[in-house]
């Protein structure tokens, strides 16, 4: 049964409803262009919510030739007909490019028989605003197009680090190319903790989360990694993201993070599920945003298929509500300074030129108690430089300097050794 339209695009209706004409005249012209390209009963479909989250990805795929398209027409002659913008990658700051855009253009996707346009509508008060419009012959065609685009985005993000950054103008996306591979063997962590973390993430993405379905467990998980700076939290996260077949999104919290950006980030990531969301330095979440963030973590739909990894150098600053309520962060893992065995193993791994004897490595491991992984890197670097130029590594002096640095840090209150985790 065909559903009737009470106010079709006719001259009589436009005269009776003059403000409606601002919309009807534009859409009528667009329908005419589309019918010339592909005959059929074209309709407008509201896809405003998903297209806002997908539009940037769609433009990337169009620019890279992964999504064939045609520009059927420009809309207004007095509006811009092309766009030049800065490259979004911070490493290319200041560089510009000709950018694909939906603004003021009717874009047709022939393989899907769907069209998109970002249209400016004008009012008698001379105000104008842009609206995303989708044109398709059936709502099922529009739905299939979005499903296909979403899967293409998900596959494209498998090999890239994607950052979502909260800015004054909302959430901006930045890609930083292929992820640097960090093997799981490179993670210097106590065996039991390491096994527990990797086992939980492997099961999450194995066979579409079959383990969770089989045992009737909600398909969502969150872990919190805490500990002093430099002990490998970021390396652990990189090893997880680099060895897991899932999209990885890093969310960069800033002073602009608010209730809208929280909802937008989870809206973007949930469309890519099953996926990993990394929230580094989660203690920097603005106070006025925390209740919205906690409520979002509680939401079943917003968390479905998401493995969330939060990290913090300052666990005492973490809101206790993050851990004290089940389903937000399920486990908290301390990433401590390496013990003697790990310190020796790490130094031996770094020592590719074998400038140290086994007894020297043993002695270095003994003396370097309390040093972080990053400080062990510095210990090896400074010792290797001394050995290279002077023929003597002088590692004992390097260790003393690094331990003095730790004491100064503690005295200034940068790291509270006796602080409890706070939840």
In tens, the pLDDT along 251-277 reads 988 899 998 889 888 888 888 889 999
Query: Which of 377, 375, 351, 373 has the alpha carbon at shortest distance from 362?
Result: 351
Secondary structure class of 69 (helix, strand, coil)? coil
What are the structure tokens assigned to 213, written together? Answer: 């379905």
> What pLDDT does 354 receive?
92
Comparing 129 with 411, the larger pLDDT belongs to: 129
> What pLDDT does 270 receive?
86
**pLDDT exceeds 70 at position 389:** yes
Given CATH 3.40.50.300, say whether it is the number of domain 173-334: yes
**pLDDT exceeds 50 at position 413:** no
Instruction: Give the whole-angstrom CA distance, residue 340 versus residue 163.
Output: 36
**Quick one: pLDDT band at residue 180, thresholds 50, 70, 90?**
low
Whether the Cβ atoms of residue 50 and residue 143 lie closer than 8 Å to each other: no
Q: Which residues of 154-184 are buried (b: 16+ CB within 10 A; e: fewer)?
A: bebbeeebbbbbbeeeebeebbeeebeebee
Beta strands in 77-205 (DSSP E): 84-86, 96-98, 105-109, 114-122, 128-136, 162-167, 170-175
Domain boundaries, the chain: 11-157, 173-334, 340-411
- The partner residues of 135 in beta bridges, in order of sequence, read 44, 115
Beta strands in 315-409 (DSSP E): 331-334
* 219 DSSP assignment: S
Edge-to-edge strands of the sheet including 306-312? 170-175, 162-167, 248-252, 275-279, 306-312, 221-226, 331-334
**pLDDT exceeds 70 at position 10:** yes
Q: Could you tell me where the DSSP H helices lie in 6-79?
A: 11-16, 18-37, 48-63
**Would you tell me the crossing angle of helices 373-390 and 395-411 to the nearest 10 degrees?**
140
Comparing 238 with 371, the larger pLDDT belongs to: 371
Query: Which of 294, 324, 329, 320 has the alpha carbon at shortest distance from 222?
Result: 329
> What pLDDT does 52 receive?
73
- The pTM for the full model equals 0.72
Instruction: Give the whole-angstrom CA distance, residue 41 versus residue 373.
Output: 64
What are the structure tokens assigned to 207, written together? Answer: 């066979």
**pLDDT exceeds 80 at position 216:** yes
Instruction: Give the whole-angstrom CA distance, residue 286 versus residue 319.
Output: 11
Tell me the Cα Rg of the chain. Answer: 28
Edge-to-edge strands of the sheet including 128-136? 43-45, 128-136, 114-122, 105-109, 70-74
Mean pLDDT of 17-32: 81
**For the range 35-43, what are the long-range contacts, defined as Cβ-Cβ under 8 Å and sequence gap of 24 or more?**
37/70, 37/72, 37/108, 38/108, 38/110, 38/113, 40/113, 40/137, 41/137, 42/135, 42/136, 42/137, 43/135, 43/136, 43/137, 43/138, 43/139
In tens, the pLDDT along 106-163 reads 999 999 999 999 888 776 666 667 788 899 999 999 999 999 988 888 887 776 667 8
The H or E element containing residue 349 is helix 340-350
Residue whose entry in the numeric block shows the structure tokens 């008698």: 124
Q: Could you tell me where the DSSP H helices lie in 157-283?
A: 191-205, 210-214, 233-242, 259-270
Mean pLDDT of 165-191: 75
Comparing 189 with 106, the larger pLDDT belongs to: 106
In tens, the pLDDT along 326-352 reads 667 888 888 888 899 999 999 999 999
Torsion of CA 382, 388, 389, 392, to 10 degrees: 70
């Amino acid at each position: 049964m065909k559903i009737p339209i009470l106010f079709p695009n006719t001259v009589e209706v436009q005269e009776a409803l003059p403000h409606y004409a601002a919309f009807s005249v534009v859409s009528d012209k667009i329908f005419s262009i589309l019918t010339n390209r592909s005959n059929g009963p074209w309709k407008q479909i509201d896809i405003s919510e998903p297209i806002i989250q997908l539009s940037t990805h769609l433009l990337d795929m169009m620019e890279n030739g992964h999504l064939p398209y045609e520009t059927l027409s420009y809309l207004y002659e007095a509006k811009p007909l092309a766009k030049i913008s800065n490259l979004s990658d911070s490493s290319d700051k200041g560089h510009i490019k000709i950018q694909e855009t939906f603004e003021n253009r009717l874009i047709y996707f022939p393989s899907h028989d769907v069209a998109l346009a970002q249209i400016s509508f004008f009012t008698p008060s001379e105000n104008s605003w842009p609206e995303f419009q989708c044109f398709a012959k059936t709502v099922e065609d529009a739905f299939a197009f979005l499903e296909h685009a979403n899967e293409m985005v998900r596959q494209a993000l498998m090999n890239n680090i994607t950052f979502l950054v909260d800015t004054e103008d909302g959430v901006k996306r930045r890609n930083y190319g292929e992820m640097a591979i960090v093997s799981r063997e490179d993670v210097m962590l106590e065996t039991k903790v390491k096994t527990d973390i990797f086992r939980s993430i492997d099961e999450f993405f194995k066979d579409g989360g079959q383990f969770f379905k089989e045992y009737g467990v909600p398909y969502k998980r969150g872990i919190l990694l805490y500990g002093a700076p430099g002990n490998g939290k970021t390396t652990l996260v990189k090893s997880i993201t680099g060895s897991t077949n899932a999209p990885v999104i890093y969310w960069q919290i800033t002073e602009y993070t608010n209730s809208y950006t929280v909802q937008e980030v989870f809206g973007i990531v949930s469309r890519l599920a099953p996926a990993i969301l990394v929230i580094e330095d989660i203690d920097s979440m603005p106070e006025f945003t925390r209740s919205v963030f906690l409520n979002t973590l509680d939401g079943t739909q917003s968390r479905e298929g998401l493995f969330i990894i939060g990290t913090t150098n300052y666990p005492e600053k973490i809101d206790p509500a993050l851990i004290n309520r089940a389903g937000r962060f399920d486990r908290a893992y301390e990433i401590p300074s390496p013990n003697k065995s790990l310190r020796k193993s790490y130094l031996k791994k770094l020592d590719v030129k074998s400038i140290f004897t086994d007894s020297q490595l043993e002695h270095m491991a003994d003396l370097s108690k309390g040093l972080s992984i990053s400080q062990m890197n510095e210990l090896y670097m400074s010792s290797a430089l001394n050995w290279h130029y002077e023929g003597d590594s002088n590692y004992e002096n390097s260790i003393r300097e690094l331990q003095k640095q730790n004491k100064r840090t503690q005295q200034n209150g940068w790291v509270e050794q006796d602080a409890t985790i706070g939840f």
